Amino acid sequence: MAFLSSRRRRARLAPELDDQELGKLLKSLVATTRTGTFGTTELCVAQMSRLLEQDPGDWDRRTHRMDVLAGYLAGSQLPRSWVTREPRSANALVLHAWTQVARARTEGRLEDPAGTVETCLRAAELAPDDPAPWVALLAVARLERREQSQVFGVWNEVLARDRWNREAYLSMLAYLSPEEAGSRIQVLEFVDTLGARMPANAPCVATELTAQVLQYHAILHRGGFEALVARNHWSQAMAAQALDRVAHTWAQPGFLRHAKAVADLNLLAYALMAADRRAEARPVFEVIGGIVTPWPWQTGGDPVAEFDQTRQKVSPGM
């Protein structure tokens, strides 16, 4: 059976998701991050440059690759070395700024906020059509808790270049949450406005479901009786409708085509299982294969173990 064969695929974390070219690059970077020698640095800079120059105008793919590379290189000096060698390379500048953001998410603060902003603006000047510098700048604005008027100004710059940029929408969703600079009402208004005009398979299509999973997690984290009945969240109208809208389309072959589609399928599988809609989750797990994303599975512990244990619950005979 197709499902049984897909279950045999070993569950694994793969930040590149199904981007094989990016996966090859990540493997080749291992030696550079360990040795830091001049020769290997030059080689990896050339490889990164070549990958980021592929598919010009595919902003969705480029944003995904930039995001993954930045997270992978957050503890490396390689992005800084690239900027030093090529100070007028927009790719180098954006990656350097994005890496600073990735590091700040771990450390809790930006090392040099003004310098990171300047790096983003220099990249934007060199590549005026590219949304990536503005996506990085949006992340900086969030970390710095800038006023909403400033954040929305940056947000509009992203949308002017890439109307449905996934990273930007999820970043704004987080910014408007009660945990950052907004409220639950602002989150709902943002999602409602988006849903009114967004294509069903846009790269940012998971924004609504992400909001529901975040709300579900907020209930779990309260503990006590509320956590015990947190599953009831998925029977409420807004959460149930969010699942209904996507449960039977996302797993269809070719429906989701954006670079982080596998991440969105992980989110859908998680939400369907949290809602005890196992029959609908089964084909989603089939499409995912074994590619696991840390979030949202890490909420229950080790993401790979959590994914595997959950996947087993929808296997035949269980």
Q: Which of 180, 251, 168, 256 is nearest to 214 (CA)?
A: 180
Residue 36 pLDDT grade (very low, low, confident, very high; cuts 50, 70, 90): low
* pLDDT at residue 196, rounded to an integer: 80
287-299 per-position pLDDT tens digit = 999 999 999 999 8
* pLDDT at residue 40, rounded to an integer: 76
**Alpha-carbon distance 201 to 237, whole Å?**
22
**Alpha-carbon distance 275 to 240, whole Å?**
8
74-125 per-position pLDDT tens digit = 988 899 999 999 999 999 999 999 999 999 998 888 999 999 999 999 999 9
Q: Residue 317 corresponds to which amino acid?
A: G
Q: Quote the pTM value.
A: 0.92
* Range 16-25 average pLDDT: 95
| pLDDT > 70: percent of the chain | 94
Residue 6 has pLDDT above 50, yes or no: no
Residue 4 has pLDDT above 90, yes or no: no
Residue 13, helix vs strand vs coil: strand
* Range 23-41 average pLDDT: 72
Would you put residue 162 in left (φ > 0), alpha (ψ -120 to 50) or beta? Answer: beta
Residue 32 pLDDT grade (very low, low, confident, very high; cuts 50, 70, 90): low
Q: Which of 199, 311, 301 is nearest to 257 (CA)?
A: 199
181-240 per-position pLDDT tens digit = 999 999 999 999 988 889 999 999 999 999 999 999 999 988 898 888 899 999 999 999
Name every residue whose Cβ is closer than 8 Å to that of residue 82 and which is 6 or more positions away in sequence: 45, 48, 49, 89, 92, 95, 96
* pLDDT at residue 31, rounded to an integer: 61
Q: What residues does each domain of the chain span?
A: 1-15+207-318, 18-162
Residue 37 pLDDT grade (very low, low, confident, very high; cuts 50, 70, 90): low
Higher-confidence residue of 33 and 186: namely 186
Residue 12, helix vs strand vs coil: strand
Q: Which CATH class is domain 18-162?
A: mainly alpha
Residue 2 has pLDDT above 80, yes or no: no
* pLDDT at residue 63, rounded to an integer: 96
* pLDDT at residue 28, rounded to an integer: 85
* pLDDT at residue 7, rounded to an integer: 44
**Alpha-carbon distance 238 to 195, whole Å?**
12
